[in-house]
Structure 1
Amino acid sequence: MSSSPTTHDASSQEADLEFEEEAPRAGVTTARLGALVPLVLGVSAAFVSFGLGIGTLGDPGAGLWPFAISVAMIVASLIAVLRAKQDRDVEAFDRGVVPVALSVVSLVVYAALLPVIGFEIPTALLLVFWIKVLGKEGWRPAIAVAIVATVAVYALFVILFAVPIPHLF
C-alpha cells in the first residue's frame, strides 16, 4: 500500500518536529533587555543624525535618512518593550550570543579605524576575521575573499563612483 505525497509530507514534518532542539526560553526581563538595546542605539543614532543636519524633505541633509531609520528603531523598540510581558517566544541568552557580540565589536573597531587609516586595511581585516574566526573557514578562502572583495569595493566606490571615503591609494 503506497501513501500519498501529502501523507508522507505530513509524517515527515512530524518527525522533523520531534528532532528539533527546543531553545531555552527566557522571561520578561530578557525580552525587555533585548528591546532596550536597539532603543538606546536608535536614540543615540537620532542625536548623531541631528549633528549631521536633518535639512528638509525638499533639501535633505546628510542626517535625514539616518534620522528616519533611528525613529523606526525607536518606535519598534518601544513596541517591543511594551509587549515584553505578552511575548512568549523569547530565547534565553546562551553561547550563541558570542559570535553576534564579536560581530558588533568588530564593526565598532572597523568604524573607528576607517577614518584613521582608510578603508582598505580595516575592510580586509574585518573580512578575514568574519570568514576565518566567525565563519570557521580556512586561511586561504578568508584571505582570497578579503583581497578580492576589498579590491572590488575600491574599484566600485573610489574609482567608479568617486565616493569620498578615506582610502590609502
Structure 2
Amino acid sequence: MRPDTVEAAPLPPRSFPTPTGRLLRALVYAFSAVAGIVWALVAYVNLPMMDRGVPGAGAWPLFLSCAVVVSSLVGLLTEWRAGPSEEDDTPLQLPAGRHLRHLVLFVASLLLYYALLPVLGFLLASVAMLFACQVIFLAPRRYWRKLAMALVLGLAVHLLFAVVLDFSLPQGVLGLL
C-alpha cells in the first residue's frame, strides 16, 4: 500500500427504516380505503340496490363501504396535515404475551364465525362469536353471564336486521326447523 493513499472505511450494512406508528396508521387508512372501494364495487355489482321500492340487499354494504372510504380518506388527510412528531419516530412494537394471544384468538374466532355463518345461521353464529369475544377479552369466570349477554345482544341484532330492517340473514340450521 502506498503511503499517500487513505484506506476507505467499510460501508455499514444496509438497513431499512423501522416502521413507525405514523407509517402504520397511514398504511391502515390506505388499505381500508382500497378495501372499502372493492367492497362497494362488489356490493354494487352483485346485490340489488332496490327491491320493491325499498333499499335492497346491496344498499347497506354500499352505505358502509362509502363510510369506510370517507373515514379512511379523512384519516389519511389528518395524518398528512399533522406532520411528524417525536412519538411517531418510535419503532413499531408488535404485540407479545397475553396481547398476542388475544389477537390470535380474536382473528381465529372471526375466521370461524365466517365459516360457520352459512351452517349455523346468523343468530347462532353471532351468539357464539359474542360469547367467544367475551371469553377472550374479559375475566375468565361467570360464563353463564357471558352467555346471557351474548344471547341478548345476538337476539337484539337479529331482531333489528331481520325484523325491523327486513334484511335477509343466513338461517342455517334454524331454517330447517
User: TM-score range, shorter-chain basis?
Assistant: 0.5 to 0.7
Residue equivalent to 1:40 = 31
* 2:139 matches 1:136: yes
Q: Could you say which residue in structure 1 is the equivalent of 2:123?
A: 120
What count of residue pairs does the alignment treat as equivalent? 140
Q: CA deviation at 1:77?
A: 4.1
1:150 to 149, 154, 173: 154
Q: CA deviation at 1:51?
A: 1.9
Shift of 1:33: 1.5
8 Å contact kept, 1:35–1:78: yes
1:164 Cα offset (Å):
0.8
Q: Amino acid of the residue matched to residue 161 of structure 2? A: F
Q: How much has 1:131 moved relative to structure 2?
A: 1.3
Gaps of 5+ in 1: 1-26
| Correspondence 1:56-135 to 2 at 5 A | 62=59, 64-79=62-77, 82=80, 86-90=84-88, 92-93=92-93, 94-95=95-96, 98=100, 99=102, 102-103=105-106, 106-135=109-138
Residue 114 of structure 1, CA deviation: 2.3
Q: CA deviation at 1:78?
A: 2.7
* 1:53 match: secondary structure: helix
What is the identity, as a one-letter code, of the residue corresponding to 2:73?
Answer: V
The CA deviation at 1:161 is: 4.4
After superposition, what is the alpha-carbon deviation per residue over 1:56-92, rounded to whole angstroms, capped at 9, x for unaligned?
xxx9862542342232133134335535851344575
- Helix, strand or coil: the match of 1:136? coil
Aligned to 2:42: 51
- 1:153-164 equivalences under 5 Å are 153-164=157-168
Task: Tell me, yes or no, if the aligned pair for 1:31 and 1:84 is still in contact at 8 Å.
Answer: no
Which sections of structure 2, spanning at least 5 residues, go unmatched?
1-17
- Check the 8 A contact 1:128/1:142 in 2, yes or no: yes
Equivalent residues of 1:39, 1:77 under 8 A apart: no
What residue in structure 2 maps to residue 13 of structure 1?
none
Identity %: 26
| Structure of larger gyration radius | 2
